[in-house]
């Protein structure tokens, strides 16, 4: 356009003119909306080996938006999402996030990136003072380190430290019962993999001091062939292995490990195994593996969680994933903050989001809370159990009370100098 009007303004004006010409004066109906929707910019990975991250996450966001719009939207306006592929590249994630804010003028930003990109997108949020809801990066440091956190970044994703505490306590019980003292790890070589592994072992060591780490494998993200890591692990003969591999990387590792008979010799503890993305991608789900819950309809075993799974499955013909529920929850937080603030301005939303509690299908009591101190969520369900080859895949899980999780979390954060 050469008249100072951008494309959105042009289309809005043209649409309004056409409506006025054909219908005369507009009369508000029962769900009248203003011309401009509230726009959410969604940056994620939609291509390559972990495309399921963006695909299932975006469905969770879309699902929440459809429900909110069906009830009248927000502030008399519809919600709308726009998405863009970062391809898992830091520079692309930064460019997309910046363009969403400066070019597309989005009202809200949702960062559904891996931790590699999320740390960089956090700086965009800081620089442009745009409220950003993180719905995939789980690395504790993202929001826990007071020297690095930003007032505009909030996290509706789970946190590696919380998962690690529960997983370590669970693994300690199994280790004591079976005399498993020699441990290994196989996790991706970047912030998330390193943090998840460190925090799991710290919790395991606290409950089972006899354990020792006899080897660690750090494959790069999107590693195509795990042969060298698998053969080295078998040579080192650990009793058990912890892994923070995820999405297509975990599927490949499990299938290649099965060819080597790895899981007949070594107990496997995979935090990301019990999620429908992985379960449906595996040719056969091995029995007896240990996993933390990601999204499962029976964790928590509540009517609200089952209803969420059923409604989602009816719409998309597949069960939700952990990423679906995190994006769904993130949008609930943003929507409630807009209602509370009566505004989409970032500074108003920051005040509304801090300490906010919303209903969520994976909440222990049906709700989760964004902690004011570090803008991360608490009170979500975390369970660990053993797999079976068919639904419900992890029929029984054990959990840890949140007061115990928070006490152990506080001790860990103090050891890092973060509180």
pLDDT digits (tens, 9 = 90+) for 280-303: 899 889 999 999 999 999 999 999
Q: How far apart are CA 368 and CA 148, in angstroms?
A: 24
User: Is the pLDDT score of 327 beyond 90?
Assistant: yes
Q: How far apart are CA 350 and CA 154, in angstroms?
A: 9
- Average pLDDT over the chain reads 92
Give 323 or 280, the one with higher predicted confidence. 323
Which of the four CATH numbers 3.40.350.10, 3.30.390.50, 3.40.50.2300, 2.30.30.50 does domain 35-160+304-378 have? 3.40.50.2300
Reported pTM: 0.90
Kindly report which listed range (13-17, 48-52, 223-227) carries the lowest average pLDDT score.
Answer: 13-17
Angle 247-259/227-236 helices, nearest 10 degrees? 60
| Per-residue confidence (pLDDT) for residue 113, from 0 to 100 | 97
Q: Report the helix count and the strand count for the chain, using DSSP H and E.
A: 15, 15
The pLDDT tens digits of the residues spanning 110-161 come to 999 999 999 999 999 999 999 999 999 999 999 999 999 999 999 999 999 9
| Per-residue confidence (pLDDT) for residue 29, from 0 to 100 | 41
Domain spans in the chain, listed from the N-terminal domain onward = 35-160+304-378, 162-299+381-416
pLDDT band at 168 (very low <50, low <70, confident <90, very high): very high
| Per-residue confidence (pLDDT) for residue 9, from 0 to 100 | 40
| Other Cβ atoms within 10 Å of 230 Cβ, number | 19
CATH architecture of 162-299+381-416: 3-Layer(aba) Sandwich (3.40)
Overall average pLDDT of the 376-394 stretch: 95
| Per-residue confidence (pLDDT) for residue 73, from 0 to 100 | 97
Which residues make beta-bridge pairs with 40? 81, 108
Q: How far apart are CA 6 and CA 2, in angstroms?
A: 9
Q: How far apart are CA 257 and CA 265, in angstroms?
A: 11
User: Is the pLDDT score of 67 beyond 80?
Assistant: yes
pLDDT band at 23 (very low <50, low <70, confident <90, very high): very low
Task: Please report how many Cα atoms fall inside a 13 Å half-sphere around the Cα of residue 414, on the Cβ side.
Answer: 6
| Per-residue confidence (pLDDT) for residue 35, from 0 to 100 | 64
| Per-residue confidence (pLDDT) for residue 367, from 0 to 100 | 98
| Per-residue confidence (pLDDT) for residue 25, from 0 to 100 | 35
Which pairs count as long-range contacts for 269-273, CB under 8 Å and 24+ apart, including other chains? 269/167, 269/171, 269/200, 269/240, 269/241, 269/242, 269/243, 270/242, 270/243, 270/244, 270/245, 271/163, 271/167, 271/196, 271/200, 271/242, 271/243, 271/244, 272/243, 272/244, 272/245, 272/246, 272/247, 273/387
Overall average pLDDT of the 264-271 stretch: 97
Contact 190, 112 (CB under 8 A): no
User: Is the pLDDT score of 256 beyond 60?
Assistant: yes
| Per-residue confidence (pLDDT) for residue 10, from 0 to 100 | 33
User: Is the pLDDT score of 304 beyond 90?
Assistant: yes
pLDDT band at 3 (very low <50, low <70, confident <90, very high): very low
Overall average pLDDT of the 44-68 stretch: 97
- Burial group, residue 3, by CB count within 10 angstroms (0-12, 13-18, 19+): exposed
């Amino acid at each position: 356009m050469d008249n100072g009007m951008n494309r959105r303004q042009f289309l809005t004006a043209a649409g309004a003119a056409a409506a006025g010409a054909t219908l005369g004066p507009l009369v508000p109906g029962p769900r009248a909306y203003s011309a401009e929707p509230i726009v959410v910019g969604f940056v994620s990975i939609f291509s390559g080996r972990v495309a399921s991250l963006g695909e299932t996450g975006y469905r969770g966001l879309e699902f929440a938006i459809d429900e909110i719009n069906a009830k009248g939207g927000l502030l008399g306006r519809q919600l709308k999402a726009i998405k863009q592929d970062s391809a898992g590249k830091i520079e692309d994630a930064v460019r997309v996030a910046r363009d969403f804010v400066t070019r597309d003028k989005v009202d809200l930003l949702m960062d559904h990136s891996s931790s590699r990109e999320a740390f960089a997108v956090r700086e965009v949020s800081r620089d442009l003072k745009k409220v950003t809801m993180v719905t995939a990066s789980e690395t504790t440091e993202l929001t826990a380190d007071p020297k690095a956190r930003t007032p505009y970044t909030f996290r509706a994703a789970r946190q590696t430290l919380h998962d690690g505490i529960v997983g370590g306590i669970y693994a300690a019980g199994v280790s004591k019962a079976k005399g498993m003292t020699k441990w290994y790890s196989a996790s991706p070589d970047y912030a998330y993999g390193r943090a998840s592994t460190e925090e799991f072992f710290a919790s395991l060591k606290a409950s089972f001091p006899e354990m020792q780490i006899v080897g660690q494998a750090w494959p790069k993200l999107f590693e195509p062939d795990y042969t060298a890591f698998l053969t080295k692990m078998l040579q080192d003969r650990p009793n058990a292995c912890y892994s923070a591999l995820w999405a297509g990387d975990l599927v490949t590792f499990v299938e290649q490990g099965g060819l080597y008979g790895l899981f007949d010799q070594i107990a496997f503890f995979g935090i990301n195994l019990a999620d429908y993305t992985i379960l449906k991608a595996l040719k056969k789900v091995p029995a007896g593996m240990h996993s933390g819950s990601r999204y499962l309809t029976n964790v928590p075993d509540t009517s609200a969680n089952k209803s969420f799974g059923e409604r989602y499955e009816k719409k998309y013909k597949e069960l939700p994933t952990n990423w679906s529920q995190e994006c769904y929850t993130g949008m609930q937080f943003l929507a409630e903050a807009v209602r509370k603030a009566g505004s989409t301005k970032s500074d108003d939303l920051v005040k509304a989001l801090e300490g906010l509690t919303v209903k969520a299908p994976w909440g222990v009591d049906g709700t989760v809370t964004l902690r004011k101190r570090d803008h991360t969520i608490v009170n979500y369900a975390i369970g660990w159990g053993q797999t079976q080859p068919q639904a419900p895949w992890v029929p029984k899980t054990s959990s840890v009370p949140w007061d115990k999780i928070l006490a152990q979390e506080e001790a860990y954060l103090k050891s890092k100098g973060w509180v």
